[in-house]
Structures are given as structure tokens and as C-alpha cells.
Structure 1
Amino acid sequence: MLYHVTVSFGKDRQYQYKFTQAELADSSPEEARRWFSIEFVDLKCEPTNPMGKLLIIDKILNVARFGGEQRFIDGKTWATQFARYTALALGRDTIHVDVEAFNIGY
């Protein structure tokens, strides 16, 4: 299976990542969720749910927003790790993280 993750910060500002099943095999969904929890705190993200409950989707969107587009422009390890862990945490083969609209589509 091929996993395709797109992170978008607006029109013509999309960053594409593709992973094979084998490339994701050395990590787990639990590891991905832990990474997003740590990044959420490290980036000083603010919860979007007034009830205080944080879903993995909220963490992914906030980490992308607070991490900033520059990390994706640079194309360094952090951006690739973000995309890998997004695929693992959500378990979908096609994911579109729309930071501008604060939405995740499949």
C-alpha cells in the first residue's frame, strides 16, 4: 500500500509526501500519537476544543499550524516526520491536512 499525505497552507502551497508500507513499518500508531503530543506541548499549541478534549486530528492540525509552513518549505526531517506520523496516526492511505481551513480530508 502507498500512503500519500498532502499538507496545504493555501492555494499553490502544498507539500506532498509518499510512503510505502515498509517505510512506515518501523514505527507504530502509538509512537505517532506520542510524537504529536510532545510536539503539541513543545510548540505551545492551544487547544481548539473549549471542553479541553484533544483528538489526534486537533493535535495534527495544531502542530502543523504552530510548526509553521517554513518547516515544510525547508523539507527537512521534521516535515517528513510530521507526514509519516500523520499517516500512522490516522491509518489512511490518502490524507490532506489543510492548515488554512483547519481541516483534514481523506
Structure 2
Amino acid sequence: MRSQVIITWGEPATYRIDLEEVQPMPHDQARHWLDEQFTRMGCEPIRPTGKVLTADKILCIAQAAGQPRFQDAAHRDWALAFARAASAALAKPLVTVDVPAQSLSY
């Protein structure tokens, strides 16, 4: 089964992170990693209720990280950790994060 996370800011800025040859991240560790990044990057809840869903965390983190975090080779380890955490936390092998549309599909 194909395992990949796609992060896009529109067609010329689409980054595909292949997870086929990468060790899966345990679900608990993925949720912890996302929580840590959400806090570290100063992300705010999207919903007026203040409730933060896993999908919201993934979207907020991608937006806060910005396109260079996924584009630059210097941040490759971080981008791979993001992809592993997103895939594991959602328990989905194929995840697409569309930052401008604020949508996540799998």
C-alpha cells in the first residue's frame, strides 16, 4: 500500500513525502509530536470553541512552518517527522494537506 503525505500551497509548491521506506511512528508518539509542535510554533485553535482536532493541528503546524520548511533540504528531517506524525495520528497511509484551502484529505 502506498504511504505518502502531500503538503501543498498550490501546484508549483507541492511537496510529496514518501513514507514507504520509513519506520512508522507510533500513534502516541505522533500525537505528542504534533502537540509539541503546535505549542512551539505558537499555533492558535481554529475553532471558536477552542477545541483542537488532530486535523486542525496538522493544518496549523503546516501553515506556521511555512513552505520553506518543506522545500529546504536543511529541514528534511523535520518535514519527514511531520509526515510520519500526520500519517500515524490520522492512521491513514495517504494524507493531503492543502494549506491555502485549509483542508485535509485522506
C-alpha RMSD of matched pairs (Å): 1.4
Q: 1:29 to 1:78 in 2, by over 3 A?
A: same
Q: Which runs of 5+ in 2 are unaligned?
A: none
Partner residue in 1 for 2:102: 102
- C-alpha deviation, 1:22, in angstroms: 6.1
Q: Between the two proteins, what is the percent identity of the paired residues? A: 35
TM-score w.r.t. length of structure 2 = 0.91
Distance 1:69 1:22 in 2: 22
Distance 2:96 2:11 in 1: 13
Please tell me the residue identity of whatever aligns with 2:49: M
User: Are 1:7 and 1:98, in contact at CA under 8 Å, matched by a contact in 2?
Assistant: yes
Distance 1:36 1:42 in 2: 10
Partner residue in 2 for 1:50: 48
Q: 1:39 to 1:22 in 2, by over 3 A?
A: closer
Partner residue in 1 for 2:11: 11
TM-score w.r.t. length of structure 1 = 0.91
- C-alpha deviation, 1:11, in angstroms: 2.1
Segments of 4+ moved more than 3 angstroms: none
- C-alpha deviation, 1:32, in angstroms: 0.5
